[in-house]
Amino acid sequence: METLLEIKNLTLGFNIDDVFYKAVKNVNFKLKKGQISAIIGESGSGKTMSVMSVINLLPKNAKIISGEIIFENKNLLSLKERELNKIRGNKIALIPQDPMTSLDPLYTIENQMIEAILAHKNISKKEAYEIAVKNLSDVGVIEPEKKIKSYPFELSGGLKQRVIIAIALSLDSEIIIADEPTTALDVTVQAQILELLLEIKKRGKSIILISHDLGVVNKYADEISIMYAGRIVESADKKTLFNYPKHPYTRALIEALPYSKTRKLKNIKGAPPPITEVISGCEFHKRCDFKKEICETKVFELCQQEDNSKVACRIYETCNT
């Protein structure tokens, strides 16, 4: 299957009180055409920063140290802002994490949708309006001609998120980055939004889904990458990852899922390290039930397995000897 986007050896970090801390460490990630690829990790794992680097929407104190992001045979990290603007929104769109704050409260949905469309398409305002209404209807907004006249504060969280998705569809982007798109929504609306992402995938779009919920990606993703403390520690197709998890962190996440009421849940001991904590060796070794002395000093890189999964762990050390 064709690779649409590839992140290669990406390392970035932040300057905090004049000290530089790495937040993303040698990350490699591929998005295949027509698939949903998920990046999973606890808060602070670096998953959002990894993906925001694709469209250069990083905080001011962030700095990319090394790596490449390849899209249409171009390294996006080497493009000037003007060149990146032609890709951002037009070919790669973002569904942000918080629908409550992603729309301008001072303008109607119509104004905001039409402005976004006209910024990327050379069409008339009337045509932009027709596209906006159609896409609102496509994402399940009832009475789109009426709702498009609303201000954001007049809409529920679920409707706001549908508006944001409709904007992404209006731009006809090839790639959609969905950054925890259901975080602020209730459970019923969450399911509706995720089902909507599946419908978008069926249109031939490719989606990067950022989430902390392994149960969600089990249902909706094709490929899954597990991230911990700035590194991807395992990546595989969905079936392989859930049936044959390899990294101790992946195993622990799956064992913590509430599969049945009769099964006792297992907690992952400890807590993920803050960005300011510099850890030698494997970042997970302090919480790992399978650690050996070498784990405290050696960083293990992703190692290709026979089932095409990749894992960074001393248990699978054939690539790391």
Indicate the domain borders of the chain: 3-91+173-319, 99-172
Class for the domain spanning 3-91+173-319: alpha beta
H helices within 121-224, ranges in order?
A: 125-138, 144-147, 157-170, 187-202, 214-220
Summarize the confidence of residues 150-179 as an average pLDDT. Answer: 91
With beta carbons less than 8 A apart as the criterion, state whether 282 and 295 touch: yes
Q: What pLDDT, on a 0 to 100 scale, did the predictor assign at position 259?
A: 65
With beta carbons less than 8 A apart as the criterion, state whether 223 and 28 touch: no
pLDDT surpasses 90 at 169: no
pLDDT tens for residues 55-104? 999 999 999 999 999 999 999 999 999 999 889 888 999 988 777 778 99
Q: What pLDDT, on a 0 to 100 scale, did the predictor assign at position 213?
A: 85
**Percentage, residues of the chain above pLDDT 90:** 66
With beta carbons less than 8 A apart as the criterion, state whether 226 and 47 touch: no
The packing angle between helices 125-138 and 157-170, to 10°, is 130
Nearest-CA neighbor of 136 among 118, 160, 116, 106?
Answer: 160
With beta carbons less than 8 A apart as the criterion, state whether 166 and 193 touch: no
pTM: predicted TM-score of the whole model, two decimal places: 0.91
- Calpha distance 24→294 (Å, rounded): 22
Please list the residues that pair with 68 across neighbouring strands: 8
Nearest-CA neighbor of 146 among 127, 159, 165, 128?
Answer: 159
pLDDT tens for residues 292-316? 999 999 999 999 999 999 999 998 8
Q: How many CA atoms lie within 13 A of 304 on its CB side?
A: 3
Classify 88 as helix, strand or coil. Answer: strand
- Calpha distance 6→29 (Å, rounded): 6
pLDDT surpasses 90 at 186: no
Q: DSSP of 215-244, one letter per residue?
A: HHHHHH-SEEEEEETTEEEEEEEHHHHHHS
